[in-house]
Amino acid sequence: MASLKYILLVAALLGAATASRLELNGFSQAIKDAEGEMESYMEALVGKSGDRPDKDAEAVILTKYIVKPDRSLEFIKAFKKLKEAAMSLKNGPVIYALSKPKFDNLIFYSYVAFECVEDLKEHLKQDAAKEFIKYTAEENIVVFTTPVYTIE
């Protein structure tokens, strides 16, 4: 009986370790997936030889959203309201982009860059940001977010 308990404990620990590794691998894959999308967006924005507008930004955030396909248009409208609010700030973002992989019905990525962290904080204090956060919670939209660091 003790050996059965030991086997169950080991299986549970392996399952937990595998689940957390899968989540980390999933998020790593999300960043890899978004990389091509963001690079093509940046290339369209500044041209092949242009200077990236976010190169000196202090606050750069990459966010992955998992949205039910039947909620996509509503999500895009909600994101546009959020973007409009950000753009209305005195020190608005240098980039505020929403992107979607061509062959994935569930995934959206946003890429947001502000000159400094204080500007990002001001944006997050806006009613539109609070409403967007509430909307994503109410619609059960899965959100993964991470800061992005430029390595050159």
Does the predicted TM-score (pTM) go above 0.75? no
Task: Say if CB 85 and CB 126 are below 8 A apart.
Answer: yes
Q: What is the pLDDT of residue 55?
A: 75
Distance in angstroms (rounded) separating the CA atoms of residues 108 and 98: 7
10-147 placed in CATH 3.30.70.100: yes
Domain boundaries, the chain: 10-147
Better pLDDT: 53 or 8: 53
> Alpha helix (H) ranges present in the chain?
2-46, 72-87, 117-125, 127-138
Better pLDDT: 54 or 20: 54
Q: Give the chain's mean pLDDT.
A: 75
Residue 58 binned pLDDT confidence (cut-offs 50, 70, 90): confident
